C-alpha cells in the first residue's frame, strides 16, 4: 500500500513557479541565437549579390554595388574593395536580440568575386 503525504500537494506548483522564469530566459536566448543566425544568412546573401554585381560591372551601376544595395535589407552597410582581378564586399548589419538586457550583435559577412571582362 502506498502512503501519500498530503503536505506535498503543492510542491510541483512551487517548483514550476521557481523554474518558469529560467525557462523563459533560456527560450529567449535560444530564439535570439536563431535571430543572429538569420542575420548572418541575410548579410551573406547581400554580400554575395553585391560582389556579383560589382564583378560584372552591370550597366548603369558602373562597377559599384549601388544596384545590389537597393534590394538589401534596411540597415545593411556595404564596403567594397577591389584588388587585382577580384572584388571583395563586406556586408555589416545589427542583429537585435529578443532579450532586452543583451546588447545588439554586429554581424559581418564577406564575399569575393572575380572581375569579369566587359
pLDDT for position 116: 82
Q: pLDDT band for position 113 (50/70/90)?
A: very high
pLDDT for position 82: 87
Most confident residue range from 8-12, 52-56, 66-70, 105-109 = 105-109
pTM, to two decimals: 0.72
Q: What average pLDDT does the chain have?
A: 81
Cell numbers given for 117 = 571582362
Question: Is residue 97's pLDDT more than 60?
Answer: yes
Distance of CA 60 to the CA centre of its chain: 30
pLDDT per residue as tens digits for the range 32-86: 889 899 999 989 999 998 888 888 865 444 555 566 666 667 788 998 888 888 8
Q: pLDDT band for position 88 (50/70/90)?
A: very high
Amino acid at each position: 500500500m502506498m502512503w501519500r503525504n498530503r503536505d506535498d500537494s503543492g510542491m510541483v506548483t512551487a517548483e514550476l513557479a521557481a523554474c518558469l522564469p529560467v525557462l523563459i530566459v533560456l527560450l529567449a536566448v535560444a530564439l535570439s541565437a536563431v535571430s543572429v543566425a538569420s542575420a548572418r544568412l541575410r548579410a551573406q546573401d547581400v554580400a554575395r549579390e553585391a560582389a556579383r554585381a560589382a564583378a560584372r560591372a552591370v550597366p548603369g551601376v558602373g562597377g559599384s554595388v549601388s544596384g545590389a544595395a537597393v534590394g538589401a535589407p534596411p540597415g545593411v552597410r556595404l564596403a567594397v574593395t577591389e584588388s587585382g582581378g577580384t572584388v571583395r564586399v563586406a556586408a555589416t548589419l545589427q542583429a537585435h536580440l529578443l532579450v532586452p538586457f543583451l546588447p545588439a550583435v554586429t554581424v559581418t559577412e564577406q564575399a569575393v568575386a572575380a572581375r569579369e571582362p566587359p
